[in-house]
Structure 1
Amino acid sequence: MSTADGSPDDGATKSQPLTIAQLAELARVSTATVSKVVNGRAEVGPETRALIERLIREHGYRPQRRRAACAPLVELVFHALEGEYPTEIAKGVEQVTREHRLAVVLSQLQHRDTPGKGWIEGVLSRRPIGVISVFSSLTEAQREQLATRGIPLVLLDPRGDPAPAVPSVGASNWNGGLMATRHLLGLGHRRIAAIAGPDYALASRARLDGFRTALDMAGVPVDPELIGRGDFLVEGGLAEAERLLRLPCPPTAIFTCNDGQAAGVYRAAYRLGLRVPDDVSVVGFDDLPAVRWMNPPLTTVRQPLTEMASAATEMLLKLARGEFPARHRVELGTELIIRESTAPAAG
């Protein structure tokens, strides 16, 4: 049935996923060894593990008890656990899991794009009903390992452009950037700066594209000097805002691609003896709970994080039941929330 290196011979069939026993025969190992790999246990050598994983990718894996073995858990993976963003996400996930009597396992990647070594083995050993990955992604091999075990994956606020086969839930980021900039244009501002997030972030690129589109539609040239590159952190917003506000002809308004960077703009204005909004108007993006208590309260674009998380969890549960969602990519609407950080342009 197999050659000496464990590769299938001409008589092997790829039409049906294989059981643990069939995989063990192909790999010329015990069923216990295959079971350890399937369940994410660590006591298997790297070469044997790689061989078994390759056979699973090539042939598929057919569990003998497909859903009965799953634990009542949802695996929630964050890029990082900082600020109010993960709290709002967790609220939305918990609203749905509580109704279905499910627990949530929480992990963070410490700002990495994808989970590191050992993460997938932990997930496979816990056997959750599914995984929600927030502002992060999985490697192709990790996605395949989940798929072959029947564990669905949903991306929430995807960090990059999701693979076509991976379901995702996000927000209308482009429209949010458009609304924020149109608001500033309507107040008479023409020298408007933007502090984007990191280039790899899909949301940041979309928000900046909306900003540029609004300026173009108003006939206002985009000045490259007024485009700052941040990192979605307060410190990045502070550094870029100080650079912008020290220009010979500084901007009269700044749009930041998240609320954290807007807080950095406030700090930079304070350091330079400027007032928000008298000297510079500021618009953020997210509408996290704390921004209404900033001084002055922040005008921002509301990204419905809690609702996005609930939608992602509902989608995950449908996939776990073997149902297909009506849409593979879902975008929830954004809304401009006008507060006291924006005012008509002086003069």
Structure 2
Amino acid sequence: MPPNVRRTTLADIAQRAGVSVATVSKVVNGRGDVAPQTRARVQELLHQHDYLAPVFRHTEALESPTIEVQFQGDLKSYVAKALEGIIDSAAEAGASVVISKASRAPHWARDLVSAGRRALIAVTSVYTAAHLKELARVGLPLVVLDPLHLPDSQVNSVGATNFSGGLAATRHLLSLGHRRVAYLGGPAMAVCNQARMHGYRAAMEAEGAPVPDAYIRPGEFTYETGLLGAAALLELEEPPTAIFTGNDEIALGVIETARARGLRVPEDLSVVGFDDTDLAQMASPPLTTVRQPLREMGGAALRTALRLANGDKVESHHIELATELVVRASTAPPGEEASARK
């Protein structure tokens, strides 16, 4: 705001709305004892005049900052793991966390600031250039956790070594003797999916194992993708003896499709997942998967958000934590029937 421009006050809003300053204060602070029509009129005036509540006036607000955490879609095991890491780290830092679904309502970023949020962590949420501009306009720092799409170079983000994870998973299957290995992944343009797929390709090419076009199938990070994708792969003239999947949910769908077709995992078909959520251990058989350190990623995102909220600089705009292959019971050398199956 230019130095000679006077900031809009509660009294200004009250005068224009024809209500008391106390009523405007109740609207700003989310109190419920205001008539709906009056609340709507006051909120519209607050937005029109770019009013920002002075939420950082008190020492306790600085000592106990509140971070907004938004996610899209269903609260799946993957998201829950990341949220646990965020909440645990917030408790250690003496910060508060508010969890919500991603909103694109008018003035959504300004509403967050008015509600006292010091920073925003986005989990699997997509933010366009317009969203980033809105956040920059109100001065709200953003940290993207495991971005689906490549963020702006100036956007702070936390992810995992997806390429290395894809490489390790495929090398594991190749070391067992598999040569017909397929990749069944998530959205084709998702950054994490591309990295996992390229890791798969790199391992296959280094081994000299063929990668037919039909062996790479994009989809969504869902159980249904596993069901349908595995059915298509197993219908091929030369079906794979092993399938590396983009996440644990897809892997469970693959296992179910194999079971419905009378195939045994891992005797007839080896399956590898990605993430190492609780689903991996509960699967039957327990799932070999690439562990993505979701709790640790959540913690790193929270600590980065707090540093940005305090006006501190961060060493890197993007942090990557190491993945790790966890071998369980869903992978084995290809059996004679699997190798001969067409």
Same topology, TM > 0.5: yes
The answer to whether the 8 Å contact 2:266/2:329 transfers is: yes
Task: Give the SS at the match of 2:308.
Answer: helix
Cα distance between partner residues in 1 of 2:242 and 2:290: 15
Contact 2:243 2:272 in 1 (8 A): yes
Q: How big is the shift at 1:294?
A: 1.3
* % identical equivalent positions: 43
Matches within 5 A, 1:1-40: 17-18=1-2, 21-22=5-6
Q: TM-score w.r.t. structure 1 length? A: 0.81
2:184–2:218 Cα contact (<8 Å) kept: yes
Correspondence for 1:72 = 65
1:243 corresponds to 2:232:
yes
1:313 equivalent in structure 2: 302
CA distance in 1, matches of 2:204, 2:327: 19
What is the alpha-carbon distance in structure 1 between the residues aligned to residue 56 and residue 81 of structure 2? Answer: 36
Spell out, residue by residue over 1:284-335, the C-alpha distance to the aligned partner (whole angstroms, 9 max, x if none). 0000023112111100000000000000100111111111111111000000
> Partner residue of 1:230?
219
Helix, strand or coil for the counterpart of 1:162?
Answer: coil
**Residues 141-164 of structure 1: per-residue CA shift (max 9 Å, x gap):** 332333333321100001100101
Residue pairs, 1:186-265, within 5 angstroms: 186-265=175-254
The amino acid that maps onto 2:136 is A
Given that 1:74 and 1:105 are in contact with CA atoms closer than 8 Å, whether structure 2 keeps it comes out as yes
Amino acid at match of 1:171: A
1:99 positional shift: 1.9
SS of 2:172 mapped into structure 1: helix
For residues 275 and 262 of structure 2, what CA distance do their matches in structure 1 show?
27
Note the C-alpha offset of 1:23.
7.0
| 3-state secondary structure, aligned to 2:121 | strand
3-state SS of 1:74 partner: strand
Instruction: Map residues 34-183 of structure 1 onto 2, 5 A cutoff.
Output: 43=41, 72-109=65-102, 115-118=103-106, 119-183=108-172
Query: Could you report, residue by residue, the CA deviation over 1:98-126 in whole angstroms, capped at 9, with x for unpaired residues?
Result: 123322211124xxxxx422443531331
Cα–Cα, structure 1 residues 123 and 200, in superposed 2: closer, same or farther, change >3 Å? farther
1:267-278 matched pairs, under 5 angstroms: 267-278=256-267
- Work out the CA distance in 2 between the residues paired with 1:294 and 1:205: 26
Cα shift at 1:137: 2.8
- Match in the other structure for 2:281: 292
Deviation digits for residues 202-243 of structure 1, max 9, x if unmatched? 111110111111111111221111112220000111000011
TM-score (norm 2): 0.82
Between structures 1 and 2, the one with greater helix share = 2
Q: CA RMSD in A?
A: 3.1
